[in-house]
Amino acid sequence: MVRHKVIEPSRLSEAQMNEVSTIYHVYHDQLRHTSSKKAAKATMHYCLSGAHVKTEDQLASYEFLYMNDYFWELDTVLSTQQGDPEIPLLYRVLLTRYSKPLTTEDLNWLQTLSFSHPSLRCLHLFTLVYAYYDIKQYTGLDKYVDECYDALLHVNEPLFYYYMKLRFDELLFQHYWKTNNLLLAKKYIYKVLNTDLSPRKHSSMNHNLALCHLYEDYDLAIGYAYTGLSIAKENNLVKAIKSIQNYTIPFISAFHRRTQNITTPDPVETAHLAIAKGDVKTAKSILSKLSALTPFQESYLGLATSDRAMLNRAHNRFIKEYGDHFFAQLPLYYLERINHTN
């Protein structure tokens, strides 16, 4: 597909667009004449070039900077631009979330807010869902899904709409993944991957695809994990490198008992790898020292000790505490494994 066509609204969506930001015009024109990377950089400079007075220009500018990983630049703009303090409020939350997950207190505060502008209302709803996901309440979208669909229909500027649609597809992917509806989850993650993504987002989507394939195919799972890691390394994405290298690759390897040359500095995944190698003594030594076990850790210890009650408890905890039906299968796989070996 021609790059500039990607950000254009469909004919159906176009009917709701009664505002067009200058940022959209600049980015659209850049995409017509140069590469995605150069177009993003030129548009970033335009976003920083002066005060954008109109609300739609401000919002499109903030959203463009955020979704293209220009976090330092966005922070600078938020600190220097004057105007309605309501407009940058949610972007301050999102920037904070990038370095530190939102908490229950943050969620409670976000629930007290309301916005009349259609774009801000849409972003606010998505931010509420992000907060639920950050506190590992994966049923968060259930509370807002109808409102999200409605809010998206009222976003009135094409570039902001493009990014809101991308955000919503990501949320729907997470929703269907965690409810273990993998056909729909993969539908939405491939929709996201077929757009112009920032390196961080591109790495993250491959990382998620790796985990989606955990139970069904080792080669696909580990392949997507290494693709995500490669993108992260190419772009010096330190958090993503650590997450994939130290946790996800060892996790997939331990689950499939393909552990040759796999190591990690993380003690819990070291225990998981030890179990896969048959070294349950080391695994029990590590896991028994933990004061409170997560459902993942309880699954590992249940496997190491062949404790069926522990594995069943871990299964129930994934569902009741997190609403995570995908990873709730992990202790069931391990329960089946010990039933076949004992």
Stretch 261-268: mean pLDDT: 96
Residue 236's φ and ψ, nearest 5 degrees, are 55, 45
Give the Cα separation of 253 and 306 in Å (integer).
20
H-helix or E-strand spanning residue 211: helix 199-212
Give the Cα separation of 48 and 69 in Å (integer).
14
Q: So where are the chain's domains?
A: 198-265, 279-342
Q: Quote the pTM value.
A: 0.92
| pLDDT per residue as tens digits for the range 16-50 | 777 899 999 999 999 998 888 899 999 999 999 87
| pLDDT per residue as tens digits for the range 6-21 | 887 777 667 777 789 9
| pLDDT per residue as tens digits for the range 84-128 | 788 899 999 999 998 899 999 999 999 999 999 999 999 999 999
Q: Which residues contact 184 (CB under 8 A, 6 or more apart)?
A: 172, 176
Find the angle CA(329)-CA(334)-CA(338) to the nearest 5 degrees. Answer: 150
Least confident piece of the model among 3-12, 231-240, 292-301, 319-328 = 3-12
Confidence band (pLDDT; 50, 70, 90) for 2?
low
| pLDDT per residue as tens digits for the range 286-306 | 999 998 999 999 999 999 999
Q: Which of 306, 301, 304 is nearest to 291 (CA)?
A: 301
